[in-house]
Amino acid sequence: MADTDALAGLTATSFHRGNVAADAAADTAGQVFVLDMQESLPGVIRLRDWALAALAPQPGETAVDVGSGTGAEVRRLAAAVGESGRAVGIEPHAGLRAVAEQRSAGTGATFVDAEATALPFEDASVDMIRCERVFQHLTDPAGAVLEFARVLRPGGRVVVIDSDWGTAVQTPGDPDVVRRLADFRDARSPNPHAGRHLPGQFARAGLTVDPDIAATAVIPPTGALLVLVEKTVEEAVGAGAVTQAEGDALLADIRTAQAAGEAFMAVTMFAVLGRR
Label residue 100 by pLDDT band (50, 70, 90). Answer: very high
Q: Could you tell me the sign of the dihedral formed by the alpha carbons of 23, 190, 117, 97, in that order?
A: positive
The rounded Cα 223 to chain-centroid distance in angstroms is 20
d(CA 27, CA 132): 20
Average pLDDT, the chain: 93
106 — alpha (psi -120 to 50), left (phi > 0) or beta?
left
DSSP 8-state code for residue 8: G
**Model confidence over 215-236: pLDDT tens digits?**
999 998 877 889 889 989 999 9
Output the DSSP codes for 16-67: STT---SSHHHHHHHHHHHHHHHHTSHHHHHHHHHHHHHH---TT-EEEEET
**Model confidence over 41-95: pLDDT tens digits?**
999 999 999 999 999 999 999 999 999 999 999 999 999 999 999 999 999 999 9
How much is the pLDDT for 13?
A: 46
Contact of 132 with 158, CB cutoff 8 Å: no
**Model confidence over 245-260: pLDDT tens digits?**
999 999 999 999 999 9
How much is the pLDDT for 16?
A: 46
**Going by C-beta distance under 8 Å and a sequence separation of 6 or more, which residues neighbour residue 188?**
12, 13
Q: Which CATH architecture has domain 4-275?
A: 3-Layer(aba) Sandwich (3.40)
Rounded to two decimals, the pTM is 0.91
Q: Is 112's pLDDT higher than 60? A: yes
- Print burial letters for 123-152: b (CB count within 10 Å at least 16), e (below 16): eeebbbbbbbbbbbbbeebbbbbbbbbbbb
Work out the average pLDDT over 204-208.
98
Number of other CB atoms surrounding residue 26 within 10 Å? 18
Closest among 50, 267, 251, 241 to 159, alpha carbons compared: 50
- 3-class SS at 163? strand
d(CA 130, CA 65): 5
The neighbouring-strand residues paired with 163 are: 269
